[in-house]
A and B are shown apart, each in its own frame.
Chain A
Amino acid sequence: MHELAITQSMFDLVLRQAEKAEAKKVGKINLVIGEMTGIVGDCVQFYFDFLSKGTLAEGAVLSFVTIPPKARCRDCGKTFEIIEFDWACPYCQSNSMEIIAGKELFVESIEVE
C-alpha cells in the first residue's frame, strides 16, 4: 500500500538526477528492490506513469531487480537464501539468524538521452 509514497520519492530522485545531468529524456530506470520490502512492481509502474505525465521521465520503462532475503546463521555461520520465508537454517535447522539481504530499496541507474 505504500507504493505511492515510495514511487513519489523515487520519481523526485530520478528527476533531480536527470536535471542535474541536463538530460532531455529518461528512457529507463533500473531499480533494486529487496523482497522483504513487499513492494509490488506493477503498482510502482502504475503510480509512476501517473506522476511522470508531462515530465521528462514520461514513458520511462521501470526495470526491477528483486533481491531475495538472505541470512547468516548465528549457530553454524553459513549463509543461505530464505525460501518462502521459512525461517530455519537449511544446514543446521537453527532459527537464529542475521538477515543480510532483502531490504534493499534503491535506484541503481537511469538511462537518459
Chain B
Amino acid sequence: MEMKVLTIQEDILGANKEKARRNQEQLDKHGILTVNVMSSPGAGKTSLILQTINKLKGKTRIGVIEGDVTSSIDADKIHQQGVPVIQINIPGGCHLDANMIENALKNLPLEDIDLLLIENVGNLICPAEFALGEHKKVLISSIPEGDDKPFKYPLMFTEADVVLVNKIDLLPHLKFDTDAFSQAIKGINEKVEIFQISCTTSQGIEQWVSWLLTQMGGR
C-alpha cells in the first residue's frame, strides 16, 4: 500500500496548554492569582511559601499545591500554618502538568482562596515546558547554586516573570556576581523582575510580597 504524507503542524504540548487554559479560566472565575514557583531542589521554594504565608496572614487568603516526587514533608509544614494545601506526589516524575492541577483544584476550597501558590518539583529543566494555568511564573535561584545558571538553563530563565535571588545573606561567604547574574537574565528576558531575598533573615521579602499584592490588585 502506498504511503501518504499528512501535514499536521500541531504543538506536542497542545493538549496540556489547552487544559492549562481551562484551569486558568476556572481560577479567573474565582478571582484567584496563581503563581507557579519553580527552582532547583533546595533553592528555597517551601521557605518562600512559608515566608509569604507569614507576611500575608490575616490579609490574604492563601492556598498551596505542593508537588514532590515523594513524601508530604512540605505539605505538612504548610498545613501547620492553617493554610489549605494539596500534596501531589509523582513517583518518578520531574514536573507538574495541567492535568494534575485540574485534579488538585477539585479538592481546594476555591471560594476561600485569593492567592494560590503552586510549588513545582525541584528541577530547572522540565517544569519550564509545562503550563499549569498559572498567571505568573516565579523562579528562585539561590546564591550557592552559582551565577552561571541563566546560561545553563536558558529556557527556564526566559520563561520567568520574576527571579528571586535567594540566600542573599550568604553573599559574603561565596563567589557570586549579582550584577553579572542580573545582566545575564535581563539580556535574554527583558520583562523579568529580579528581587534579592533571604528566607532566613527575611531580607527583601517585603518587596516580593508587595509585588504579589500589586499583581492581585483588581482581581
Query: What is the interface of chain A, defined by CB distance below 8 A to chain B?
Result: 1-2, 5-6, 9-10, 12-14, 17-18, 21, 23-25, 27-28, 31, 36-38, 69, 71, 74, 85, 87, 94-99, 103, 105-113
Contact = CB atoms under 8 A, between A and B. Distances in A.
The binding surface of chain B is classed by DSSP as: mixed
Contacts of B123: 1
Contact of A113 (B2, B15, B126, B155): B2
B129 A37 contact: yes
A37 B126 contact: no
Given A5-B130, A97-B187, A110 B94 contact: no
Contacts of B186: 96
By Cβ-Cβ distance, the 4 closest A-B pairs, closest first, are A2-B126, A95-B187, A113-B1, A1-B94
A105 B11 contact: yes
Nearest to A110: B6
A105 B12 CA distance: 6
Contacts of B5: 109-111
B6, B151, B154: which has the most chain A beta carbons within 10 Å?
B6
Q: Give the residue among B5, B9, B12 with the most A Cβ atoms within 10 A.
A: B12
